[in-house]
Amino acid sequence: MNISLSDKAALVTGAGRGIGRAIAAKLASAGASVLLADIDESALEESKAALAVYGSRVETLSGDLTSPQFCEATVKKLVNEFGSVDIIVNNAGYTWDNVIQKTSDEQFQAMLDVHVVAPFRVLRAASHWIRERAKQEMEGGARVMRKVVNITSISGLDGNPGQVGYASGKSAIVGLTKTVAKEWGRYNVTVNAVGFGLIDTRLIKPMDDPQTAISIGEKHVRVGMQPQVREQAARMIPLGRLGTPEDAANAVFFFCSPLSDYVTGEVLVCSGGIRF
């Protein structure tokens, strides 16, 4: 089935690499115009170059999504550059793990800020434009479907030792998803979430891999998994392998496409069958 999104304008956060880049590529390959947002400007430019092959219009905006002003700026640029807000994928995030007794207030709040506060601010910023445009369309007798996809995790759905902050943020985004789905149904917006399992990105690389050190502003956060833990977890996946960023993007694309026009407020688990 050839699904075209050629008349759609999409925002993908955390699009500098990994799952975000794969989601943006999937949308661009279907013809959507895509705004890539990420804290890493050089990674954004790499993503933009990689997406050039699809011939779709791609723009970038670098900045910190935990800043209220930047959340507003992403929506403003999407409207100014493309004239519409049709798809929002709240994908940006990272892990900063520890057991509860070793988790600082700063660490816990950082996980809430990036995984639920930032998506909330992006959607709040988009709400005014979406509501007004939907009213105009309905008055003209048109039904134009728009899409929001929030990213959660099996850690947020089932919990995971050592991820008290990450799991809390990823659980909270489910509540946001289900609530906004009920508020925005009247505007022909579907709001869903995809919960990832072990997708092979830098967040689960072996901890001796240099890619597992990431910088968030002035913070340098160690991500990744102990090699033996990674190997053990991979063996537990019923489908027998780690997921790829493309696997993750395919699940998100379903919720961005017309195939999901009558699906809202749902969580699709993309994990190869594993649940913690």
Separation between Cα atoms, residue 126 and residue 251, nearest integer Å: 23
Residue 10's pLDDT is what?
A: 98
Residue 101 has φ and ψ, to the nearest 5°, of -70, -15
The pTM of this model reads 0.94
Residue 205's pLDDT is what?
A: 84
* 204: confidence class by pLDDT, cuts 50, 70, 90: confident
Q: What is the pLDDT of residues 110-139, one digit of tens each?
A: 999 999 999 999 999 999 999 999 999 999
Please name the fold of domain 9-197+242-270. Rossmann fold (3.40.50)
Q: Where are the chain's structural domains?
A: 9-197+242-270
Closest by CA position to 36, among listed 56, 53, 18, 61: 61
- 262 noted as active-site residue: no
Distances (CA, A) of 147 to 61, 156, 191: 21, 22, 6
* 275: confidence class by pLDDT, cuts 50, 70, 90: confident
Catalytic residue chosen out of the listed positions 54, 94, 166, 187: 166
Residue 211's pLDDT is what?
A: 62
Separation between Cα atoms, residue 257 and residue 147, nearest integer Å: 8
